[in-house]
Amino acid sequence: MRKAKLKWDVFLSLVKELANKIPKNRSLFGIPRNGTLVALCLSHQRPDLKLLYEDPRKLAHEGKLNNPCSPIILDDIFDQGKTLKSYIDDGFEVATLFTRGKVPGIITAHVMDTDHWIIFPWEREDEKEQKKLGR
């Protein structure tokens, strides 16, 4: 798979595009690590979106979330769906910057399809390779 290094200005442009696709007055939760940066940048683009700092599944379980499906779960990329599966199974909406491969119709919003291995601006080029190798 070919790699593509994403520059900060392109990342911020994609976040701005995603901001236009998110419904008003929703809350956001970013999947740690990369989804957190997407959620933070998105909340700066749209002040009406409330940033959640705790996992909405935990908040719902504790009765601290009025509408359990209200938060939108954010991640950088939807690839095989492993990271977002439990949120989708619990009925949360999800949004990503990128999708790769066949994506089910459960994504609330995304900006771009890709067949590249995306290296985000905050990642080292070899970081994902190291993770794949279990290091």
Decide: helix, strand or coil at residue 63.
coil
Q: Identify the CATH number of the domain defined by range 3-132.
A: 3.40.50.2020
Note the pLDDT of residue 135: 38
82-100 per-residue burial string, b: 16 or more CB within 10 A, e: under 16: ebbeebbeeebbbbbbbbb
- Per-residue pLDDT tens listing for the chain (135 residues): 788 899 999 999 999 999 999 988 889 999 998 899 999 999 999 999 989 999 998 888 888 877 655 899 999 988 877 788 888 888 888 999 888 876 666 667 778 888 888 999 998 877 655 455 443
DSSP 3: E
Q: Which two tokens stand for residue 128?
A: 């994902």
Q: State the pairing for strand pair 107-113/93-99.
A: parallel
Spell out the domain ranges in the chain.
3-132
Note the pLDDT of residue 131: 56
Q: Which two tokens stand for residue 98?
A: 């990128």
